[in-house]
Amino acid sequence: MDKKATLKLPDGGNIDFPVLSGSVGPDVVDIRALYGKTGVFTYDPGFLSTASCASTITYIDGDQGVLLYRGYPIEQLAVHCDFLEVCYLLLKGELPNQKQKDEFVSMVTNHTMVHDQINRFFTGFRRDAHPMAVLVGVVGALSAFYHDSLDISDQRHREVAAFRLIAKLPTLVAMAYKYNMGQPFVYPRNELSYTANFMRMMFAVPAEDYRTNEVLVRALDRIFILHADHEQNASTSTVRLSGSSGANPFACIAAGIACLWGPAHGGANEAALQMLDHIGDVSKIGEFIKQVKDKNSGVKLMGFGHRVYKNYDPRAKLMRETCYEVLEELGLNNDRLFKLAMALEKIALEDDYFVSRKLYPNVDFYSGIVQRALGIPVSMFTCIFALARTVGWIAQWNEMIVDPDQKIGRPRQLYKGATRRDVLPIDKR
């Protein structure tokens, strides 16, 4: 028997709505007919209780600290797969066999170069421009170069755009870093793996040969896996909303990058490291925690808390392990910030302010420490996040395009402004 929910209206009438069930997770009340039948809207700023779409890509159980990509636990994917296998999974719904993987890797590898005129975009920026400002601009401009993959109704166009974006983001992120450093751009090398290629484009200099460290490459590849998708977060919702108007894929991904930049979202890893630098020493943790608890201070424990996870973010656990491995490999296991972060985490998780609000470390708490140890500067952290999240944005964008239920996103409002009034001549105002 179909489930339903009954709404009791202010005028005493009742109205039923269908209740829909997914394969797992909360049911939803289908209220699409609400305004047409009752003349009232729902009110849900920040979408705390709103499902914006149906999706088959990523599932999060915030209470249990569960994260599944196409049904596979993130803990297993992070250990048994590499990032391009996870890209294939997110885009196509299944893990690739060896032949499928080889073909996919070859397609990505052969799209890693960017049009050489894109180099000129960088010279228009100040050297000290924030790399995210550069990335938003350059990714948005890609639609000016690739006219043969802009027809979003054409699956082949969508597929080519997906390969281009996944393949070129590492090249563009590395270019943003090199430009900021005043060093020459490093072209991709097709004999290298995706992540080894990125590290070489970031850190190689013409003055000497660059040797990849496979432990560090594996660590960064895992960081990409952990950041690849996360259901309907703010930047993914931005990409879906942009795509619902028919905007081209490059413009949609640029919109996602812009949204990710915020410190409450993808900018939190940069903010978390700056927070640790600010605290400076374990002896200062108590004073800082006191500030966080003081609502008037506006100070938050960056890298803590999450809209969905009300338990430990499974990505944070994996990130902490990766952090330990990298610091061990680099002989930095006495790293001051790592020890400070672990002490801060321990104190916070024993403090009722955080426990009562179910505030746990999220993916951003340790990622900054790992990236800093890998030689990636703080200002580049959110670019790394954007690089990894591009595949998730594309997978969600693709799903939205082919969803028969999808329409242009156009929320309504609770209007609390002035009611109708007449304009007076300026000498009467």
Active site residues: 306, 364
> What would the DSSP string read from start to end of 294-331?
-GGG----TTB--SS-SS--HHHHHHHHHHHHHHHHTT
- Tell me how far the alpha carbon of residue 232 is from its chain's centroid: 10
Among 256, 305, 314, 368, binds ligand SDX (CB under 6 A): 305
Among 166, 204, 273, 301, binds ligand SDX (CB under 6 A): 301
> What would the DSSP string read from start to end of 129-176?
S-HHHHHHHHHHHGGGT-GGG--TT-HHHHHHHHHHHHHHHHHHHHHH
Q: Which is nearer to ligand SDX, 171 or 396 (CB)?
A: 396
Q: Which is nearer to ligand SDX, 109 or 371 (CB)?
A: 371
Evaluated on CA atoms 79, 85, 91, 97, the torsion sign reads: negative
Of 338-357, binders to ligand SDX (CB under 6 A) are: 357
Instruction: Give the pair of three-digit tokens for residue 294.
Output: 């003081």
Of 20-49, binders to ligand SDX (CB under 6 A) are: none
3, exposed or middle or buried, with CB in 10 Å at 0-12, 13-18, 19+? exposed
Q: Coil, helix or strand for 181? A: helix
Any bridge partners for residue 66, and if so which?
Answer: 61
Name the minimum Å distance from CB 223 to ligand SDX.
12
Among 135, 302, 340, 376, binds ligand SDX (CB under 6 A): 302
265 near ligand SDX, rule: CB under 6 A: yes
Cα 220–85–204 angle (5° rounding)? 35
Among 158, 178, 306, 372, binds ligand SDX (CB under 6 A): 306
Burial track 341-355 (b if 16+ CB lie within 10 A, e otherwise) = bbebbeebeeeeebe
Name the minimum Å distance from CB 57 to ligand SDX.
13
169 near ligand SDX, rule: CB under 6 A: no
Contacts of 369 (CB under 8 A, 6+ apart): 273, 276, 323, 327, 335, 337, 338, 341
Among 70, 111, 164, 230, binds ligand SDX (CB under 6 A): 230
Among 92, 189, 300, 310, binds ligand SDX (CB under 6 A): 300
233 near ligand SDX, rule: CB under 6 A: yes
Among 303, 335, 371, 400, binds ligand SDX (CB under 6 A): 303
359 near ligand SDX, rule: CB under 6 A: yes
264 near ligand SDX, rule: CB under 6 A: yes
Of 276-295, binders to ligand SDX (CB under 6 A) are: 292
Q: Tell me the residue nearest to ligand SDX as measured from the CB.
A: 305
Of 59-118, binders to ligand SDX (CB under 6 A) are: none
Name the minimum Å distance from CB 402 to ligand SDX.
23
393 near ligand SDX, rule: CB under 6 A: no
CB 360 within 8 A of CB 128: no
Cα 381–383–171 angle (5° rounding)? 125
Q: Which is nearer to ligand SDX, 150 or 308 (CB)?
A: 308
363 near ligand SDX, rule: CB under 6 A: yes
CB under 8 Å, gap of 24 or more: what pairs does 91-94 form? Answer: 91/162, 91/391, 91/394, 91/395, 91/398, 93/56, 94/70
Among 221, 335, 364, 399, binds ligand SDX (CB under 6 A): 364
Q: Which residues bind ligand SDX (CB under 6 A)?
A: 230, 233, 264-265, 268, 292, 300-308, 357, 359, 362-364
